[in-house]
Amino acid sequence: MTDKQPAVLALNEKQRFEFNKLKKRLRRLVGEAIADYAMIKDGDKVMVCLSGGKDSFTLLDILLSLKLNAPVSFDIVAVNLDQKQPGFPEHVLPQYLEECGIPFHIIEQDTYSVVKRVVPEGQTTCGLCSRLRRGALYRYALENGISKIALGHHRDDILETFFLNLFHGGTLKAMAPKLLSDDNKHIVIRPLAYCKERDINEYARLRDFPIIPCNLCGSQENLQRQAMKTMLAEWDKRFPGRVDTIFGALKNVAPSHLADPTIFDFAELEALRNSTLQSTGNDEGLDILAI
């Protein structure tokens, strides 16, 4: 895939200049995330989970661009799960991927009927839908030698999840840029972890990707997540830099200054103190103000 797409070619000189700046920024941020978390290694077979949304289209596009001059060799395959939603335009993704010469596979599994049968009318379907979708993708990855599963979650998704867990789940937890699945069989990566949603929105618009909206539940909106999105947008508007600082904090954690005894051994502090005093022979110089 190259930048010689009709939508990009139609841009005027100023627009192309801005587009190239945007693409360079996204490439740089994705490259930094891949390097920081050792996401992709030589010989990897990376499965990009392509939903038809702006995020996964952008992820695939940027990874293909990086692959051209990456310091390691890796393969990319785009995989879409056709959930048999009524009215789903099943021709769109295959046509796009074939025209771009991108290796792909379409998994056909009727998760739509399962979700509509199990979830009571009016309740959110996202949880069950996500689990069924993940199971199908994991199964394909295991059967086809996939070493990395790439998802399109971006920086804003990570921050929204952090505050959802903080406000509603009582946990300090977000989305990891790289994780091992619960069964220890899959490595999941999020190369867009450093990318802002507004940049992805603009990139997808300029690329004119054939976006397919999720309408499994009538474009059902997760109200709590939307509230987090609104809160972050307001902070970003009123306090420039605050959201960047919060994301930076997720990379700068001090377990000894939190309160979870399962990740920091508070019980052993006395032993550490006594060992230090014994090695120095006295307790002179201890500064109570340093506590």
Binding-site residues for [4Fe-4S] cluster: 126, 129, 217
Q: Quote the tokens at residue 87.
A: 């009215």
Alpha-carbon gap, residue 76 to 61, rounded angstroms: 11
Question: 228 burial class (0-12, 13-18, 19+ CB within 10 angstroms)?
Answer: buried
Return binding residues: 126, 129, 217
Phi-psi sector, 241: left (phi>0), alpha (psi -120 to 50), beta: left
The answer to whether 34 and 191 have CB atoms below 8 angstroms apart is yes
Length of the chain: 291
Rounded to 5 degrees, φ, ψ at 217 are -120, 35
Contacts of 114 (CB under 8 A, 6+ apart): 128, 132
Residue 19 amino acid letter = F
